[in-house]
Amino acid sequence: MVLIVGVDEAGRGPVIGPLVICGILIDEKNTQKLKAIGVKDSKLLTPQQRRSMFEKIKKAVNDYKIIEVSPKEIAAAVESESGMNLNWLEAHKTAELLNILKPDIAYIDCPSTNTSKYKAYLKKLLKKDIKLVVEHKADINYPSCSAASILAKVTRDREIEKIKKKIGQDIGSGYPSDPYTQKFIKENYKKYPEIFRKSWATYKALTEAEKQKKLDQFQIYLV
- Chain-centre distance for alpha carbon 66: 10
User: Bridge-partner residues for 119, per DSSP?
Assistant: none
Q: State the pLDDT at residue 8.
A: 97
Q: State the pLDDT at residue 218.
A: 44
> Distance of CA 149 to CAs 62, 136, 165, 178, Å?
17, 13, 24, 22
Burial of 30 (0-12, 13-18, 19+ CB in 10 A): middle
Phi, psi at residue 3, to the nearest 5°?
A: -90, 130
Q: Digits of tens for pLDDT over the chain (223 positions)?
A: 999 999 999 999 999 999 999 999 999 999 999 999 999 989 899 999 999 999 999 999 999 999 999 999 999 988 887 888 999 999 999 999 999 999 999 999 999 999 999 999 999 999 999 999 999 999 999 999 999 999 999 999 999 999 999 999 889 889 999 999 999 999 998 899 899 998 888 888 887 766 555 544 545 544 4
Amino acid at 195: I
Domains of the chain with bracketed CATH: 3-165 (3.30.420.10), 169-222 (1.10.10.460)
Buried b or exposed e, range 54-88, using 16+ CB within 10 angstroms: bebbeebbeebbbbbbebeebbebbeeeeeeebbb
Q: State the pLDDT at residue 221.
A: 47
